[in-house]
Amino acid sequence: MPGWGKRRSMGPVCLLIVGVAAGTAFAQDRLSDEVLQSADYTRGRLAFQQRCSACHTLANRGSNLAGPNLWDVVNNPAGSKDGFAYSAALSRAEFDWTPDRIAAFIADPAASVVGTTMMIPEGVPEADRGSMISFIMVETGAAGWPRPEPELAESDVDPDAPISERYASFWNHMMKNTTHYRLVNGGDEIVFDAYFNTDGSVSANNESIRGFWRVDERDFFCYALYGIPMAPFEFVECFPIVAMSIPRFAEELWQSNPVGDVTLHGGILPGRPGAL
């Protein structure tokens, strides 16, 4: 099992001390597998989007933002993501993130890991912790149960807030990563990468291709690409943001027919050239 080396250097006595130093939060009910499996995924997703997604991505190979990417965080050593500058408190920590540890951490980061630089405006209420951690486990490859079917429910986030806040994980996913296209028109095919930019423009690794995007009043993300050096030369596509709000990476995530017989295969790949 990856990541156990760090813990093995510790005896049970040390672990006990860490547990005590970590404070009172451990006194709460443990998050059993049963509790986690039956938790409310949608509630957990909403809580994560509102409280965590501005600083954390979940998908495998997702970028580090203000906080580290959380893929594979559960049951692995704290402070162990490559390329993230942790506080001394987390980089020297000698414990694994169990669901209970995470519950204590998000209830009160400073009390649970003394010296951590993670600051959240307010602790996550106990009623949300189980569903949030269950959601994190599903989205970071730690759950032994399937992801529930996503429903396109209205989210009850403040409708006047900017898209970067209302759909922070979607926003980070589109604006920091690479959108990969394969357009097929009869026997012709073109493959290129596009980059959605926060100023509303779209650039591409093929210099002739340009575009722009906007979000309409139904929270559909609409964009146009033009200058494609192959028929159809340009196209427009719209999709509901909620359908994309759980960021994933794959070369082919969706398929559509933006124009006539043209088939578009779209995907999102981690990172983009020139990004940190």
Q: Contact residues for ligand HEC (CB under 6 A)?
A: 51-52, 54-56, 66-68, 70, 73, 78-79, 81, 86-87, 89-90, 97, 102, 105-106, 116-120, 124
Q: What is the DSSP secondary-structure string of the chain? A: -TTHHHHHTS-HHHHHHHHHHT-GGGGSPP--HHHHHTS-HHHHHHHHHHHTTTT---STTPPP-SS---TT-BTSBTT--TT----HHHHT---BB-HHHHHHHHH-HHHHSTT-----SSPPPHHHHHHHHHHHHHHTT--SSPPPPP--PPP-S-TTS-HHHHTHHHHHHHHHSEEEEEEEETTEEEEEEEEE-TTSEEEESSTT-EEEEEE-TTSEEEEEEE--SSTT-EEEEEEEGGGG-S---EEEEEEE-SSTT-EEEEEEES--TT--
- CB of residue 33 to ligand HEC, shortest distance in Å: 19
Task: Specify the residue, 136 or 204, whose C-beta has the smaller distance to ligand HEC.
Answer: 136
- Min separation Cβ 104 and ligand HEC, Å: 11
Angle between helices 126-139 and 41-51 (to 10 degrees): 100
Find the shortest distance in angstroms from Cβ 158 to ligand HEC: 17
Smallest separation, CB 120 to ligand HEC (Å): 5
Name the minimum Å distance from CB 195 to ligand HEC.
24
C-beta closer to ligand HEC: residue 87 or 197: 87
Nearest Cα to Cα of residue 177 among 54, 272, 64 = 272
Q: CB of residue 121 vs ligand HEC: minimum separation in angstroms? A: 8
Q: Which of 93/209 has CB closer to ligand HEC?
A: 93
Nearer to ligand HEC, 61 or 214 (CB): 61
Decide whether 58 or 268 has the Cβ nearer to ligand HEC.
Answer: 58
Task: Return the number of the residue (128 or 237) whose C-beta is nearest ligand HEC.
Answer: 128
Cis status of the peptide bond prior to 232, with omega within 30 of 0 = yes
Closest CA to 137 of 81, 76, 192: 76
CB of residue 226 to ligand HEC, shortest distance in Å: 37
Cβ nearer to ligand HEC, comparing 64 with 185: 64
